[in-house]
Amino acid sequence: GQQLNQSPQSMFIQEGEDVSMNCTSSSIFNTWLWYKQDPGEGPVLLIALYKAGELTSNGRLTAQFGITRKDSFLNISASIPSDVGIYFCAGQLQTGANNLFFGTGTRLTVIP
């Protein structure tokens, strides 16, 4: 399958700080998705991006679809303790049924 490189693998930040993480691929994707997973739960969709250059916000979260269509970024502003979890990026191709590929996740720890 496709390889998505997600970084950083883990982050320890102080409450109130901003967070940035990114995902890169050697392949071009038509859709980028960002999910958050809490321990023992399924991933929850945070933001979906459908167009190169698109910048979309969901509360304190902002994600961008890279111009090259090979990368995406997620920013979290003013982090709070409930932001703790694992954040996954996923790239989706336009064609083919088996067309969604996941990054390995960024584990975020917020220190109160």
Partner 1 sequence: DGGITQSPKYLFRKEGQNVTLSCEQNLNHDAMYWYRQDPGQGLRLIYYSQIVNDFQKGDIAEGYSVSREKKESFPLTVTSAQKNPTAFYLCASSLSVVHQPQHFGDGTRLSIL
Binding site for partner 1 (CB under 8 A): 1, 4, 30-31, 33, 35, 40-45, 48, 50, 88, 90, 92, 94-100, 102-105
Q: At its nearest, how many Å lie between partner 1 and the CB of residue 62?
A: 18
40: left (phi over 0), alpha (psi -120 to 50) or beta: left
Q: Which is nearer to partner 1, 82 or 94 (CB)?
A: 94
Q: What is the 3-state secondary structure (H, E, C) of the chain?
A: CCCEEEECCEEEEECCCCEEEEEEECCCCCEEEEEEECCCCCCEEEEEECCCCCEEEECCEEEEECCCCCEEEEEECCCCHHHCEEEEEEEECCCCCCCEEECCCEEEEEEC
* Shortest spacing between CB 46 and partner 1, in angstroms: 10
Query: Rounded to the nearest whole angstrom, what is the least distance from the CB of residue 33 to partner 1 in the complex?
Result: 5
* Nearest CB to partner 1, comparing residues 4 and 61: 4
5 vs 18, beta carbon nearer partner 1:
5
Residue closer to partner 1 by CB (options 26, 98) is 98
